[in-house]
Every structure is written in structure tokens, then in C-alpha cells.
């Protein structure tokens, strides 16, 4: 449920990327450019959402649900980081399909299924609780994201570092936003009131936008151009 908003974004981006990449099949430089741009666009939304979810997981559960759900808080925090990597991985399929790498994609999907299943089994039989299972799933998801990025980088003649550093700016801004919200909860009581919870969300959005502008984040300039037509 927590990943539903992101799924709408990533699915929409993927539907646009595949036909575009198919047309540019012989121009890897352009494909890599638009692939990185798409990932920046996804990260500018998904990163603050997931980090905000991590920081505000406690009041989210207590205020919007009830205290009987508090055992789910650690799990939500763990899976919030999974959401970041899964959102970025959504663009990988367009690369494999557009560049006729479906056999490689099939093999990677088989490996991914095996790794995820193994992680779940380890979580169930070794840790014997949902939190341990979540940690196993999160670690497997992170390793698989890096594993698939290796092949994407090889196909596009770029490096894994290029892919990771591509969203570095939005990650830093999102972390700084999260730190600000964390300390603001000490002042604004977000744990027991909808008003306090809402104020922290508003503050987070405001701080995030200020950071994007202050650090002159490329993803934000591209996003602003696509939405408002402002010059980059």
C-alpha cells in the first residue's frame, strides 16, 4: 500500500520511455541521457516521500491508525528504503525491451526471484519475525538493484557510478529534509495530533524545495521545465 503512489509514477514513466527508447535504439548516448534524466525525475519525488515516511512513521501510525498498529512501525521504516530502490529500478525494463535484451532480462528476473525467495526463507526460518524478514528483503532488494544496474551500465556504455551519482543531489536534499523533520518533531508535537503531523509534512515540503533551489539540483530544474516550461 505504501508504494502505490510511487507505482503510478513509475508505470507512467515506463510507458513513455519504452517507445522513445525503441526509436533511439541505435543511439545509446541519447538513450543513456534520457534514462538518467528519467531516474532523476523519479528520485526527486520518490526520495523525499520515502525518507519522509521513514521519519514520520511513528505519528503516521499513531495518528492516522491507532496504537495497536505500532509493531508495524519498524517494518514501515525498513521498507521505506526498499521503495526508493524499487522506484528507480522501474526504468530498467524499458532498456532491456527497447534494446532487444529480453533474454538477459529473463535471466536476471530468474536470479532476482531466487534471491528474493531465499531472503524471505532466511527471514522466516532464521529471524522468525516480520522485522527480520523485512531486513532480509531490504538487503536482497539493494543488492539486486546494484546487480541490475551493473548490466544496465554495461548496455548503455556508462558506469554504475554514473547511475548512482545521477541521483546524489536529490538524495542529499531528501536526507537533510528528513533530519530537519526529525528535530522539528521535538518542537511540533506530531505524535498525538493530526495538526502536528500535518505541520511537519508542510515543513518538510518547504525545506525540501528550498534545498533543491539552494543546491541548484539539476533534477529540479528539469522537473520545473517539464511542468511550468521554465528555462533550465
> HEC string of 23-51?
HCCCCHHHHHHHHHHHHHHHHHHHHHHHH
C-alpha cell at 125: 526460518
Per-residue pLDDT tens digits for 21-37: 777 777 888 999 999 99
| Domain assignment of residue 188, yes or no | yes
| Domain assignment of residue 136, yes or no | no
The separation between CA 121 and the C-alpha centre of its own chain, rounded to angstroms, equals: 25
| Domain assignment of residue 143, yes or no | no
| Domain assignment of residue 148, yes or no | no
| Domain assignment of residue 153, yes or no | no
Per-residue pLDDT tens digits for 48-73: 999 999 999 888 888 777 777 888 88
pLDDT band of 192, cuts 50, 70, 90: low
**pTM higher than 0.85 for the full model?**
yes
> What's the total number of domains in the chain?
1
- Contact assessment for residue 197 and residue 203, using Cβ atoms and an 8 Å cutoff: no
The separation between the first and the last C-alpha atoms of the chain, rounded to the nearest angstrom, is 35
- Contact assessment for residue 91 and residue 17, using Cβ atoms and an 8 Å cutoff: yes
pLDDT band of 44, cuts 50, 70, 90: very high
Tell me which residue has cell 510511487: 6
| Domain assignment of residue 85, yes or no | yes
Supply the pLDDT for residue 197: 82
| Domain assignment of residue 122, yes or no | no
| Domain assignment of residue 222, yes or no | yes
Cα 61 from Cα 20, distance rounded (Å): 41
Supply the pLDDT for residue 4: 61
Range of the domain at 37: 4-99+158-228
Q: How many helices (H) and strands (E) does the chain have?
A: 11, 0
Cα 207 from Cα 100, distance rounded (Å): 43
Per-residue pLDDT tens digits for 119-169: 999 999 888 788 999 999 999 999 999 999 999 999 999 999 999 999 999
Amino acid at each position: 500500500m505504501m508504494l502505490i503512489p510511487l507505482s503510478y509514477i513509475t508505470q507512467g514513466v515506463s510507458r513513455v520511455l519504452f517507445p522513445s527508447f525503441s526509436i533511439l535504439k541505435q543511439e545509446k548516448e541519447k538513450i543513456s541521457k534520457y534514462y538518467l534524466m528519467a531516474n532523476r525525475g523519479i528520485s526527486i519525488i520518490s526520495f523525499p516521500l520515502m525518507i519522509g515516511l521513514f521519519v514520520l512513521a511513528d505519528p503516521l501510525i499513531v495518528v492516522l491508525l491507532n496504537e495497536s498498529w505500532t509493531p508495524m512501525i519498524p517494518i514501515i521504516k525498513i521498507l521505506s528504503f526498499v521503495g526508493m530502490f524499487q522506484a528507480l529500478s522501474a526504468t530498467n525494463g524499458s532498456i532491456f525491451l527497447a534494446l532487444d535484451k529480453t533474454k538477459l532480462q529473463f535471466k536476471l528476473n530468474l536470479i532476482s526471484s531466487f534471491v528474493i525467495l531465499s531472503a524471505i526463507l532466511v527471514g522466516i526460518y532464521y529471524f522468525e519475525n516480520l522485522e527480520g524478514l523485512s531486513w532480509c528483503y531490504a538487503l536482497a532488494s539493494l543488492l539486486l538493484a546494484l546487480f541490475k544496474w551493473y548490466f544496465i551500465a554495461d548496455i548503455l556504455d556508462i558506469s554504475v557510478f554514473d547511475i548512482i551519482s545521477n541521483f546524489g543531489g536529490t538524495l542529499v536534499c531528501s536526507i537533510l529534509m528528513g533530519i530537519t523533520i526529525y528535530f522539528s518533531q521535538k518542537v511540533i508535537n506530531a505524535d498525538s495530533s493530526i495538526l502536528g503531523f500535518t505541520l511537519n509534512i508542510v515543513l518538510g515540503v518547504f525545506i525540501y524545495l528550498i534545498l533543491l533551489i539552494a543546491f541548484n539540483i539539476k533534477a529540479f530544474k528539469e522537473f520545473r521545465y517539464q511542468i511550468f516550461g521554465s528555462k533550465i
